């Protein structure tokens, strides 16, 4: 039975709150860049970037990162992960890279993302922002910014719908 | 020893016999054919009820590979395969090593056949020395030694003048000159029929013209000289047409085809299976239809096997370098029976094309159940089904294009010169 | 999802498979644009290239593709000549499998060799060119290049000029382009046109002017210099006069037509230098794209479970 977790208003409020947390935690906000993890983190990163830019009146660099090639389960899964686009058109060396994803679960995607990032350069530090933390970590990974913690059972599916243009239908559900 | 074969459906086209009869064999000869119940007593009786009883089949085109290629086949194994397939006479082609172009090779073959063969073997000698197409062999000596016809099979005689001379000279002896019709320049490097399939597979093709230009040439030469021309392994519609037309003009030409040319097309080569690699190559549907029609109307006089056994290593390689040839003695009759089943020809015609017709062309007294003829008989259950299993062939050559095919027509017993071989 | 563990030809692929390969190649182009051109999905996997025909560019391209995926790659270079008879191909291939290879990339002068290897081996077999049959990765990178410039393949007019009968690149491209809905014209002298090729759904032209008119893509193929000695052509000069891609002839194609060549080029035989080096030429891009496409092939084949 699907459970509603967040509606579009709550999502917007959460993004705003995270934006302020980021500003508060990073004195050197100029040095922060965002990298959204394909697919769920890409739009989220864009929205966070817009809010940050509005708040500090400066440009924030945003990129997207596909982790298919870095997964640790390529030979186990039934279907092969689809390779999507990676676009980081700026240097990440010595920067604070904020990885953005929609749902944090076992932590393996984040590990893969960090492996990928290291091939792009040497960030000064990496932080992690997620909209939902659903528990069941299998690796020692912890988020710096969380939208909402929700307890789930392992077999639940968390569905995040975020639209690029029209956010009125945005939602987070458990299926 | 007297053997009586009773209750079988006897079909002997040479005598127009077609009915349930008994046959009495005395030693190595046929004593006579009798109506039911009228036959004299015998030492041994074979009950052929439900089977056809026909003259042992005569294959005028076989490769026994001995001398020289014993790893592919020997006279011993080749003749065993022949009798298994219902053949009691085979004529072996001269492209051995050494080539059968001297009396010593002819004599060797005959000696081996007498010692180890299971059926009658008639050697065909080469037209030219070494099959090089340059100098004629000594026809008289070879005939005296026991060869009964001439061919450079495996190759054509490219030089038209040499072919003319051979046809002229052969008239002294009234022996057939068997032509492998292939223009080597047109076919050079080719490994299958030239057409859409060769394009799809990226393999070099042998155009039908490679066969047809030589058929036309040889027919002209036969007309010019009056020599007895026999066209081997006809594979194309154009060849059939040329031969048919030549016959209407009274040219002294006969022709043969082989079961693969009326059973398969070049589509079989998709998949690059070298068991379908043969020369001349498998052609198209149109050619198959024309060949069937040719068999029916007598343009094609004979169904021969062109039995070409090869060792596994010679076939199990890249398509371009694999050997050409199909091992065919043990499947020929059953494939011919399919023509009867599909109503292309009647049973009588099939048997004639594989018994009396080749015998007449080669000038041997075989292919008949006449009184005092050699006791060469095949007893076949036409309704019995079997699945072709090349691995179980008696021939050393397991290279069959029909492996796995479900066919009808099992040879139950073959009698060669009075010796009985029981298969089932 | 690819269905077979092997890539033997474009003939065996569905249109969907081709699109999937092209889209995956997009992702690998991103990798090639980075400073560190390396990703880990084939880490610990072994690729062996078995080239019975000499080739620098295809082999190098595959080698780089494998290395960029973190695979280990070993190159065997042998002679196809039946005069130099050594170990049979089958024995060599089985040895390679026993050495622990996960992929074998095979190029051979005889059509059908990759097919018999695919039946014999459990590991993935990639056809890098067999006789006059196919060269699937070349066609895939050509399709990728066309798509990069023209956005879609369906409805394009593609003119292929050259020794079609002996060209596995032409064949694979014909299969790929027709499967994706392009109009293909083949242009060459009758002596170099394969038998019954119109049955593949292409337009046959013996005049380059007719064939190239309003084409979106002009693909020239290498003419092997020995064709003259084998009697297919009276001379290379005559070939260039009749079929050479000059800038005048290129003007008959669309203004934004792209010029392609699988390389290596015979300048002055099939293509004039000014065209090869001109603005419409995408020949060097083909080379770069080739690595991304071959990475995609290796990546997608590695995921096929049989």
What is the predicted pLDDT for the residue at C305?
Answer: 67
pTM of the model: 0.92
The pLDDT tens digits for C166-175 are: 999 999 999 9
**B195–C89 C-beta distance less than 8 A:** no
How distant is the alpha carbon of residue A91 from its chain centre?
19
**Complex ipTM:** 0.93
**Is B183 a known active-site residue?**
no
The pLDDT tens digits for C229-261 are: 788 999 899 999 999 999 999 999 999 999 999
From the list C27, C35, C300, the residue facing A66 with the nearest CB is: C27
User: Is it true that the peptide bond before B135 is cis, omega within 30 degrees of 0?
Assistant: no
What is the predicted pLDDT for the residue at A77?
Answer: 63
How confident is the model over C130-151, as a mean pLDDT? 97
What is the predicted pLDDT for the residue at C244?
Answer: 96
How confident is the model over C114-118, as a mean pLDDT? 96
The pLDDT tens digits for B142-189 are: 999 999 999 999 999 999 999 999 999 999 999 999 999 999 999 999
DSSP string, B269-287: GTT--GGG--SSPP--HHH
Chain C touched by B201 (CB under 8 Å): yes
pLDDT score of C85 more than 70:
no
- In angstroms, the CA C238 to CA B94 distance is 47
What is the predicted pLDDT for the residue at C228?
Answer: 65
Q: Which two tokens stand for residue A80?
A: 């092969």
Q: Going by beta carbons, is chain B in contact with chain A, meaning 3 or more pairs sit under 8 Å apart?
A: no
Write out residues 89-148 of B within 8 Å (CB-CB) of C.
none
* A31 contact partners, CB below 8 Å, separation of at least 6: A94, A95, A96, A124
What is the predicted pLDDT for the residue at C83?
Answer: 45
Chain C touched by B321 (CB under 8 Å): yes
Chain B touched by C82 (CB under 8 Å): yes
From the list C1, C26, C39, the residue facing A70 with the nearest CB is: C39
**C28–A115 C-beta distance less than 8 A:** no
- In angstroms, the CA B114 to CA C286 distance is 69
Q: Which two tokens stand for residue C65?
A: 């593709």
- In angstroms, the CA B20 to CA B360 distance is 26
Closest CA to C114 of C97, C95, C135: C135
pLDDT score of A1 more than 80:
no
The pLDDT tens digits for B227-285 are: 999 999 999 999 999 999 999 999 999 999 999 999 999 999 999 999 999 999 999 99
Chain B touched by C136 (CB under 8 Å): no
On average, the pLDDT of chain C sits at 93
Chain B touched by C48 (CB under 8 Å): no
Q: Which two tokens stand for residue A128?
A: 């992690």
Distance from CA of B185 to the nearest CA of C (A): 11
Q: Which two tokens stand for residue C296?
A: 């995609």
Catalytic-role residue among B218, B306, B314, B374: B306
- In angstroms, the CA C291 to CA C285 distance is 10
What is the predicted pLDDT for the residue at A173?
Answer: 87
What is the predicted pLDDT for the residue at B409?
Answer: 97
How confident is the model over A46-68, as a mean pLDDT? 94
pLDDT score of C81 more than 60:
no
Distance from CA of C110 to the nearest CA of B (A): 6
Identify the segments of chain B with pLDDT beneath 50.
Answer: none
Q: What are the distances in angstroms from CA C174 to CA B325, C33, C148, C280?
A: 33, 30, 18, 22
- In angstroms, the CA B180 to CA B166 distance is 14
DSSP annotation of B136 reads B
How confident is the model over A88-111, as a mean pLDDT? 95
Helix or strand run (H / E) with residue B410 = strand B406-416
Chain C touched by A42 (CB under 8 Å): no
CB-CB contact of C59 with C51 (8 Å):
yes
- In angstroms, the CA C72 to CA C76 distance is 14
User: Is it true that the peptide bond before B280 is cis, omega within 30 degrees of 0?
Assistant: yes
What is the predicted pLDDT for the residue at B37?
Answer: 77
On average, the pLDDT of chain B sits at 97
- In angstroms, the CA B205 to CA B295 distance is 26
What is the predicted pLDDT for the residue at A78?
Answer: 64
What ranges in B117-207 are assigned the alpha helix state H? Answer: 139-145, 160-170, 184-187, 196-201
**B201–C133 C-beta distance less than 8 A:** yes
Label residue C104 by pLDDT band (50, 70, 90). Answer: very high
Closest-CA residue of B relative to C118 is B271
């Amino acid at each position: 039975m699907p459970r509603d977790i967040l509606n579009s208003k709550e999502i917007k409020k959460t993004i705003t709150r995270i934006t302020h947390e980021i500003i508060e935690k990073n004195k050197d906000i100029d040095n922060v860049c965002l990298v959204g993890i394909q697919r769920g983190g890409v739009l989220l990163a864009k929205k966070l970037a817009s809010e940050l830019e509005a708040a500090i009146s400066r440009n924030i660099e945003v990129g997207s990162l596909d982790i298919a090639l870095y997964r640790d389960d390529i030979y186990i899964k039934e279907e092969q992960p689809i390779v999507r686009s990676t676009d980081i058109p700026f240097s990440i060396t010595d920067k604070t890279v904020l990885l953005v994803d929609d749902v944090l679960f076992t932590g393996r995607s984040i590990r893969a993302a960090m492996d990928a990032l290291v091939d792009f350069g040497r960030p000064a530090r990496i932080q992690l922002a997620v909209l939902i933390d659903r528990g069941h970590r299998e690796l020692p990974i912890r988020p710096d910014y969380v939208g909402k913690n929700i307890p789930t059972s392992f077999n639940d599916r968390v569905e995040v719908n975020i639209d690029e243009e029209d956010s009125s239908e945005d939602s987070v559900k458990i299926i | 020893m007297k053997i009586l074969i009773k209750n079988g459906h006897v079909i002997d086209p040479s005598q127009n016999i077609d009915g349930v009869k008994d046959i009495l064999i005395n030693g190595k000869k046929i004593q006579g054919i009798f109506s039911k119940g009228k036959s004299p007593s015998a030492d041994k009786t074979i009950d052929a009820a439900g089977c056809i009883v026909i003259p042992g089949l005569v294959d005028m085109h076989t490769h026994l590979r001995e001398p020289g290629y014993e790893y592919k086949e020997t006279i011993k194994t080749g003749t065993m395969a022949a009798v298994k397939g219902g053949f009691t006479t085979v004529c072996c082609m001269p492209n051995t090593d050494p080539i059968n172009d001297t009396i010593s090779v002819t004599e060797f073959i005959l000696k081996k056949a007498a010692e180890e063969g299971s059926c009658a073997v008639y050697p065909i000698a080469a037209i030219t020395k070494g099959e090089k197409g340059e100098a004629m062999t000594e026809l008289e000596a070879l005939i005296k030694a026991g060869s009964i016809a001439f061919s450079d099979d495996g190759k054509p005689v490219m030089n038209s003048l040499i072919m003319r001379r051979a046809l002229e000279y052969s008239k002294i002896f009234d022996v057939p000159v068997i032509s492998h019709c292939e223009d080597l320049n047109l076919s050079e490097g080719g490994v299958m029929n030239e057409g859409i399939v060769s394009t799809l597979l990226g393999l070099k093709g042998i155009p039908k013209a490679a066969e047809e230009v030589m058929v036309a040439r040889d027919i002209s030469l036969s007309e010019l000289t009056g020599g007895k021309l026999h066209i081997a392994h006809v594979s194309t519609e154009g060849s059939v047409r040329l031969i048919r037309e030549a016959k209407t003009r009274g040219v002294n030409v006969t022709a043969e085809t082989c079961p693969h040319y009326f059973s398969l097309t070049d589509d079989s080569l998709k998949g690059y299976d070298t068991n379908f690699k043969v020369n001349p190559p498998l052609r198209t549907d149109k050619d198959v239809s024309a060949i069937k029609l040719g068999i029916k109307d007598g343009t094609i006089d004979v169904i021969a096997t062109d039995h070409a056994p090869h060792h596994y290593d010679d076939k199990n390689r890249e398509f371009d370098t694999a050997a050409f040839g199909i091992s065919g003695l043990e499947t020929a009759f059953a494939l011919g029976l399919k023509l009867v089943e599909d109503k292309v020809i009647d049973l009588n015609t099939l048997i004639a094309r594989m018994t009396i017709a080749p015998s007449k062309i080669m000038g041997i007294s075989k292919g008949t159940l006449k009184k005092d003829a050699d006791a060469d008989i095949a007893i076949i259950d036409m309704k019995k089904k079997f699945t072709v299993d090349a691995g179980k062939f008696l021939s050393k050559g397991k290279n069959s294009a029909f492996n796995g095919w479900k066919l009808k027509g099992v040879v139950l017993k073959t009698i060669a010169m009075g010796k009985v071989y029981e298969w089932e | 999802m690819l269905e077979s563990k092997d890539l033997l030809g474009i003939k065996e692929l569905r249109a969907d498979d081709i699109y999937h390969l092209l889209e995956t190649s997009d992702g690998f182009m991103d990798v090639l644009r980075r400073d560190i051109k390396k990703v880990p999905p084939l880490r610990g996997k072994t690729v062996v290239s078995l080239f019975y025909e000499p080739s620098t560019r295809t082999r190098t391209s595959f080698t780089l593709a494998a290395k960029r995926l973190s695979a280990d790659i070993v190159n065997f270079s042998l002679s196809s000549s039946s005069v130099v008879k050594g170990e049979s191909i089958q024995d060599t291939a089985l040895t390679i499998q026993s050495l622990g290879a996960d992929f074998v990339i095979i190029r051979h002068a005889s059509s059908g060799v990759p097919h018999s290897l695919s039946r014999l081996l459990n590991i993935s077999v990639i056809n890098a060119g067999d006789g006059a049959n196919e060269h699937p990765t070349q066609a895939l990178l050509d399709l990728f290049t066309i798509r990069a410039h023209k956005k879609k393949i369906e409805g394009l007019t593609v003119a292929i000029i050259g020794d079609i009968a002996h060209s596995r690149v032409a064949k694979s491209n014909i299969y790929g382009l027709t499967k994706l809905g392009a109009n293909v014209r083949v242009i060459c002298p009758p002596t170099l046109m394969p038998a019954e090729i119109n049955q593949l759904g292409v337009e046959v032209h013996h005049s380059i002017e007719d064939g190239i008119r309003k084409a979106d893509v002009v693909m020239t193929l290498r003419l092997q210099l020995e064709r003259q000695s084998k009697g297919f052509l009276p001379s290379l000069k005559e070939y260039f006069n009749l079929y050479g891609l000059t800038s005048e002839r290129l003007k008959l194609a669309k203004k934004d037509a792209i010029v392609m060549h699988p390389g290596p080029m015979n300048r002055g035989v099939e293509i004039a230098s000014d065209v090869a080096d001109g603005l419409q030429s995408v020949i060097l891009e083909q080379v770069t794209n080739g690595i991304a496409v071959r990475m995609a092939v290796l990546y997608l084949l590695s995921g096929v479970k049989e």
